[in-house]
Every structure is written in C-alpha cells, then in structure tokens.
A and B are shown apart, each in its own frame.
Chain A
Amino acid sequence: MYSFLNENRPPVFCPGCTHQNITKGLDRALIELGIPADKTVIVSDIGCSGLFDTFFNVHALHGLHGRALTYASGLKLADPELNVIVTMGDGGLGIGGAHVMASCRKNLDITLLVLNNFNFGMTGGQYSVTTPPDAITGSEFLNQAEIPIDICAVAQSAGATWVGRCSGHDVELSERIAEAMRHKGFSLLETLGLCTGRYTKRNNLTPRVLEEMVDDLPAMGGVVEKNARPEYGELYRKLARQKTEFPEPVTIERAYVLDTPESQEIVILGSAGMRIVTAGDIVCYAGMAAGMNVSMKNDYNITVLRGQSVSEIIVSPNTIGYTGIKTPTVVLALSEEGVQRRHRIFGTLPPATYVLKEKSVAIPETSAEVHEIDFKDHAIKKQDWALASLAVLAKKEKLFTREMLDYALKSRFNEKTYLKALETVEKMVQD
C-alpha cells in the first residue's frame, strides 16, 4: 500500500508514545484524502511534535518554538493550493498562543494538530499550559498553582470554524484527521496522548484514561456553526482584487522660474486640528513648482487630536543636506502650544526673519520683524489660520506669489477643497 511515510527516516519516538499513533494516523489520513505529496507541507513546531516533518515524504518546514503557524500562514497565503498541516505540542501551544488565536480568527485553510501530552517531554517533563494541577511533573509544585487550558474551548471562542478533540489512541483517529483536513478553513484537532518517556512514569495515564478524559471534557463536534464564514485566503483575494488602482507618486511639475531663488527655512507653529501639515505641504508644493528642492519635518503628538503641530520646511535651490532648521526666514506663530514647543528659537531670530503671529498668540522676546494679524477679524476659522497665513505671505510676496500659491493649492487639493481654500485665500488678499 502507498504510504507517505519516509522509509529512510522511521519515527524515533519512545516506546508507547502516542506520537507514533499520530504519525500513522496522519499517514492514513493523507492516503485517504489522496492529496498530492508535492502540494502538501507539514510545518512542525517544537519538541517531539517538531520531529514530524522528517517522517513524511511531503514538503517540510520546521521552525522555531511556537511559531509554526506563522510560517504555515505565509505558505498558505503565498500558495493557496498547498495543503498545510501543522503539528504542535502543548509546549508550542503555550509559547505560540497568540498565533493559535490569530489563526482561529483569520480562518486560513490550515489544519493544526495539537499533540497534547500534558508536559514538556523533550526538556524533562516540566509542566505546560495543559498540565492538570494534580499531576506530578518535573516542575516541583508549580503546576499545583495553575489550571490547565482547554484549547478547544479557547479556539471556539476565538472564532475557529472547526474544532475537534479525541484520544491519540482513538480507532477513528485517521478519520478525524481527514475530517479536519477536509474542512475549508482553520481546523484544530486536539489529541490527548501519553508521554511515556516522562509523564506516564509518574502519572497514571493509559489509553483508557485518555478516553475518559475526552468524555469528561466538553464535546467537540468538528464544524463550529456559529463561527462559519468564508476562508480567509479566498476572502482576502476577493477584497484585494477590488483594489485596482496603483498609487503613483505625487509629482509637481515645474511651472515657475524665480529671478533670485533663495534658501528659505519656514517654521509653522500650531496645534492639532489647524491643518498645519497640509499648510506645510502647500509651501513645499509651491517651492517645487518653482524648481526648488524641499524638505519637511512634522512634529505632532501621538494623540493626534491634541497638542502641538509643528512643521519645519526648507526650500532651497541647492541640494538639501541637514534637514533641521538653523535660522528660520519665516515663522508662523498660530498657537500657544506650537510656540511653546519651539520657544527657544525666538531669542535666536535675526531682524530679517519674518514672524507672522496671530493676535491671540503670545510669543517670547525676539529681534525679528513681527507682524500681527487678527484672523477672527477676517472671519477665518481656526482650522484655516495656517492656510490664511499662507495667503498673507503670498500677498506680501514672501516665499511665493499669489499665483504660485494658487498653483500649489490646485496641485494639493481636489476641486472641491481647492475652491473652499480659495475662499479663505480671497478673504486675506482682498483688502
């Protein structure tokens, strides 16, 4: 009879180990399903269940402790045709718990076999996340202070679409494995087993006791109706197919030639909600339209709706090296928070620096040329102060002309926003 088992690498488990049964059961399931070896991969986790990849003539990937599901997910996403089987013990379950839950939630078509033998066999029989408190383990008394996890119950509540549990000595083991594999979506089959090398030496556990344990635990009937939904890969591909537009880079055509291009450093000091970054963009767009190099750094709070918003811009006919601000040529002081954030610069400003400050904003002592404006007087809402400041600059032909500002606004905004922005600009340049 055809077998997927690798004759050159027979299983090497301790005599009586349930993993031996699982190996045979998995082989029979693969035969029954009749799936091609070259479209099947066993991803094995760590410990004794981590040996499984070597026993089979299928593709194999063995990786790090608890992470098997992460590789399995990558493989399945990359090659949806692959039949992906993960073997994991109760050790990997503990380390990789986040990945087990994520797999339940995602519902990629992967079959996870949890080979639960209640302890870390390979490292000396230490307690795991499934060890009963009354067990005698290699962890002294530690397991007495914790309770075991029912991974099947966790999987159900985490959204798994197929969950089963049986003894690793169940006569229908291969059918259960085949059933799990036939399920389209994430399936988790927990098998309870004997670790003869460690656990059963000190604990009375037999195939009969395992059957009783399965009977005593909540029944797991395979398909979880309440979680039924499309397989992740299919859904992902369907959603992704709707995304057809590749975002080309934002480009600005050169439209102006400046008679005397000069390096400028602009600092916009404002607060969240004042569209400071957008104003910074517009300054840069205007600069680029004149063939200048630009750089922009923004400083705002991680809580984006509160606190300062500062934009630092360099516009230069030369290549921009250092992107920090040395001596600003223009400072827009539009909020206390913004001014506080950069209060140190005011004392350093030379007389030639043009400071535009809103009437309500106090600024530290400075030798710079300070101009005050009352935006409220112009019926400009706070969210438009930054934009209105740019209009003031354009009117005075600081940084850019009115025409350049218009070009930048057109480049930056869609038609509707552009027209609204134009209204604000008009208010400032009229009188």
Chain B
Amino acid sequence: MAVSFMEGNEAITRGAIAAGCDFFAGYPITPATTIFSNMLKMLPPRGGLCVQGEDEIASIGYCIGAAMAGKKALTATSGPGISLYSEQISFAVGSEIPLVIADVQRLGPSTGSATRGADSDIQFLRWGNTGGAPVIVLAPKDAMDCYVLTVHAFNYAEEFRCPVFIASNKEIGMTRESVDLSAVELPSLVQRKMFAGDDYLPFQAEVNMAPPFLPIGGSKLVRQTSSTHGPDGYITIDPETISRMQQRLEQKIVAAQERITLFEEDLKKDSETLVISYGVTARAVEDAAAMLEQRGRPVSTLTLKTLWPVPETLLREKAASFRRVVVIEMNQGQYVGEIRRVLCGTKIDFYGQMDGVLITPAKIMEVVEDV
C-alpha cells in the first residue's frame, strides 16, 4: 500500500482534477495559496487553464466567464478574499453560474491572522450575497474529506448551477498528513444538464430545478445577466415572473436538502449526549469521545459535512433520542444558532473558541462532562 503525504489544500486540487475541473483563476492569499500553486502545476498538463487575476474580484470574474463558456471552474481564497468575491458570488447565485469556491478559513475579523485557523466564515458564506438566495457549503475535517468533498462540490455546482463552497480551515489546508486517496470511492461525476430543444430560453427551468445550460460561444445564442430576469434572460419587472424565479432559486436547493446532506456519525448505545461538530474540530471531538468511552461514559458524535443547506431532517432524526446536545465550534458560535433553531426544545450546550489554536480533546471532554 502506497500512502500519500499531502496537505488539505493539495487534496482539494486533486479532488478538483478528479472532478474534471478545467479552469482555475485565483489570487494568492494565505492560507489558500497552495491550492492555486498546485492547480498551476496540474491544469496545464491536463489541457486546462490556470491564471492569476489582478485581484480577487477579477479572479472570480474570470471563473464566471469561463463557467459560462462551459468550463468547470474553481477558485480559492480565504476570508478577506471572500469579502471581495461577494458581489460576484451574488451574480453567480442569482444568475445560476456553476462555480466551486474553496475558502481556506483563517482567523477573522478582517485581515485577522493569516496563519491562524478558525471557522470564521460559516455564516458569511451563506449570507454574504445580496438577495439571500441559498448556496451550498461543505466542510471537510481532513485531507481525505478535502479530496472527496471537492468532487461532491463540483457535482452540486453542476446540478444546481450555483456557487458551492468548501469551507476548509488553515488547520486542514496547511496541515500535511498521510492519506490513501486510492482507498476511497469517489462519487460518480455529474455534468450540468444541457439544453436539447430548439428555442433556447436560458432561464426556463422545470419546477425546483436549475435551467438546462448552453455555453456562450455555442451555436445557439445565450444571454446571461446579473439583472433580475425572466426565463428569456432579459430584465423583467413583472412581479409574478420575479417571484417565480426567486422561489426557484430557493427551492432548487432547499427541496434537495436531504439529498445534499453529507455527514459522519458515531452513535453509541447508552449515551445520552450527542456532540455535533464540523470541520477540523470534529477530529478533536472524536478523540474526546474515544477517551470518554474508555472511561465508561460514552457520548455519541455527529459530524456535519454539509452545513448549508442546513441538514434539518438529519439533525432532527439524529438528535431525537438524546437528552442533550453539545455543539462545538472553532468560532464564537456561528452554526449553533441553526442547530438551536432546528432542534428547538432540545437542551443544547455550546462551546466555541476563537483564539488561533485548535480546540483540544481535553477541553471538549470538560465541556461534555460539565453537566
């Protein structure tokens, strides 16, 4: 068995290549830079394109242009770059442009700490667009997840024609670890549905679905616009048309919530507490759970890999038999609000830490045991 030694960022690029990504544009920013530098080594030999934009706004703009020409595009940045991406993310959300965005999170606010990890952007990724339509956010916990979730991210971007985020973290992206990529079966690839009829209306879609795609530059003329548009891609002020479009943007993702739900669980008999976490923190939670089990006080764990749309069905189902839920986050408490909303009535304790260092298993044990 030959095991690889790589950081999470490299695993994302290998996942992207496996997913058929053929376009990358980015701008260097710690701790995401090595996604860019790896793509720059990997794409040219595979016939893909990898360029550096003049800034973050341009980099994601290049991706939007390339995606509209039919490419599978990836960009990568960290919190300050997501801020700059924001207006373009809104465009991609509202105009249904498939895009994968890796956010290797660092400690915010603002420039914060370039080399310190945190799950800083969990709400920002969801709500950092004008209009409030949903996006998909996946959270890896290690290099293997970076690899696999990137393939899922491309599949979702293709199917739902929306930006899909990989909410990584400096502590995953820049941590090198042993990983056997050949040991995992990747999901089969999904390609965006192409239009096959005669008269192409670029935003004519079936109920709760993304519209079929045609590339700019193909034989049928395509219109793309960031303005509020009807099925024909022209500006509209017709309230019914606008409402239908808004509903569809929402529902195409919300209605598929159960299908988009990715997670890991370790439910133990005789445990009264369910610890919910995501990202790199989940690893410390698993360590803590193992030690508590050794001490004869088992707790169950649920690791969310899909953060948005909120896996409401899963949360309700998994939490149902527990007396108490504990949520651990590497921030001041961003996602616990969603869990409280979904599991209202359940006793929910929370521990958040945002100081540039990983939450230790010992701290988690202390929080879990402090009944």
**Across the interface, do B65 and A9 meet the contact criterion of CB distance under 8 Å?**
no
Let me know if A295 and B177 touch, CB within 8 A. yes
State in angstroms the CA–CA spacing of A219 and B224 once bound together. 36
Collect the chain A residues with CB atoms within 8 Å of residue B189's CB. Answer: none
Given A61-B216, A284-B178, A295-B177: A99 in contact with B54 (beta carbons within 8 A): yes
Q: Which residues of B contact A251 (CB under 8 A)?
A: 2-5
Summed over the interface, the residue pairs from A and B with CB atoms below 8 Å come to a total of: 225
| A62 vs chain B, min Cβ distance (A) | 4
List which B1-49 residues lie within 8 A (CB) of chain A. 1-6, 10, 14, 23, 25, 30, 38, 41-42, 44-46, 49
- With a CB–CB cut-off of 8 A, which chain A residues contact B98? none
Number of interface residues of A (CB under 8 A): 70
Q: Are A98 and B54 in contact (CB under 8 A)?
A: yes
Cβ contacts under 8 Å, B123 to chain A? none
When distances are taken between beta carbons in the complex, the residues of chain B under 8 Å from A281 are 5
Stretch at the interface among B156-164, B239-247, B282-290, B312-320: B282-290
Q: Give which listed residue, A37, A65, A236, contacts B51 with CB less than 8 A.
A: A236
Partner of A73, one of B65, B114, B225, B233: B65
Residues of B within 8 A of A73 (CB): 58, 61-62, 65
CB contact between A59 and one of B60, B73, B217, B357 (< 8 Å): that residue: B217
User: Provided the pairs A70-B57, A78-B69, A236-B51 are in contact, do residues A294 and B226 lie with their beta carbons within 8 angstroms?
Assistant: no
Query: Is B171 an interface residue when CB atoms closer than 8 A count as contact?
Result: yes
Contact B68 A75 (CB under 8 A): yes
User: A299 contacts B61, CB within 8 Å?
Assistant: no
Q: Is B367 close to A, CB under 8 A?
A: no
- Residue from B60, B61, B219, B357 having most chain A Cβ neighbours under 10 A: B61
Query: Given contacts A302-B30, A322-B283, A322-B360, are A75 and B65 in contact (CB under 8 A)?
Result: yes
Determine whether the beta carbon of B177 is less than 8 Å from that of A294.
yes
The answer on a CB contact under 8 Å between B234 and A9 is: yes
The chain A residue with its CB closest to the CB of B23 is A78
11 contacts between A and B (CB under 8 A): A60-B224, A61-B225, A64-B88, A71-B65, A74-B69, A75-B65, A77-B66, A99-B58, A287-B178, A288-B5, A322-B361
* Residue A253 lies at the interface, judged by CB distance under 8 Å to chain B: yes
Q: Which residues in chain A, 219-265, are within 8 Å of chain B measured between CB atoms?
A: 236, 240-241, 243-247, 249-254
Instruction: Determine whether the beta carbon of A296 is less than 8 Å from that of B176.
Output: yes
Collect the chain A residues with CB atoms within 8 Å of residue B90's CB.
Answer: 64
Q: Is A54 an interface residue (CB 8 A)?
A: yes
Residues of B within 8 Å of A79, CB to CB, are 69-70, 215-217
- What 1/0 flags go to A69-96 for Cβ under 8 Å of B? 1111111111101100000000000000
Given contacts A41-B217, A99-B58, A240-B44, contact A71 B64 (CB under 8 A): yes
Q: Complex Cα distance A287/B14, Å? A: 23
Determine whether B191 belongs to the interface, using a CB cutoff of 8 Å to chain A: no
B61 A70 Cβ-Cβ under 8 A: yes
Query: Is there contact, CB below 8 Å, between B360 and A74?
Result: no
Residues of B in contact with A, size category: 35 or more
* CB atoms of A321 and B287 under 8 A apart: yes
Interface flag for A285 (CB, 8 Å): yes
The listed residue (B65, B176, B286, B360) touching A295 by CB distance below 8 A is B176
Smallest Cβ distance from A204 to chain B, in angstroms?
Answer: 34
Q: Does A297 contact B (CB under 8 A)?
A: yes
Tell me what chain B mostly uses at the interface: helix, strand, loop, or mixed.
Answer: mixed
Q: Is there a chain A Cβ closer than 8 Å to B209's Cβ?
A: no
Query: CB of B358 within 8 A of chain A?
Result: yes
Q: Which of A9, A38, A288 contacts B219 (CB 8 A)?
A: A38
Measured CB to CB, the closest approach of chain B to A338, in angstroms, equals 16
Nearest CB on A from B88, distance (A): 7
By a CB distance below 8 angstroms, the chain B residues around A43 are 65
Contacts of A297 in B (CB 8 A): 171, 174-176
Q: If the complex has contacts A75-B216, A78-B69, are A284 and B234 also in contact, measured as CB distance less than 8 A?
A: no
Does A370 touch B at the CB level, under 8 Å? no
Cβ–Cβ contact B30 & A38, under 8 A: no
Contact A63 B61 (CB under 8 A): yes
Distance in angstroms between the alpha carbons of A76 and B223 in the assembled complex: 16
Minimum distance in angstroms from B188 CB to a CB of chain A? 22
A63, A293, A295: most-surrounded residue (chain B CB, <10 A): A63
Q: Which of B5, B46, B73 contacts A284 (CB 8 A)?
A: B5
Q: B75 → chain A, closest Cβ, in Å?
A: 11
**B221 at the binding interface (Cβ < 8 Å):** yes
Closest-CB distance, B332 to chain A (whole angstroms): 20
B354 within 8 A of A: no
Question: Any chain B CB within 8 A of the CB of A102?
Answer: yes
User: Closest CB of chain B to A99's CB: distance in Å?
Assistant: 6
B321 sits at the interface (CB 8 A)? no
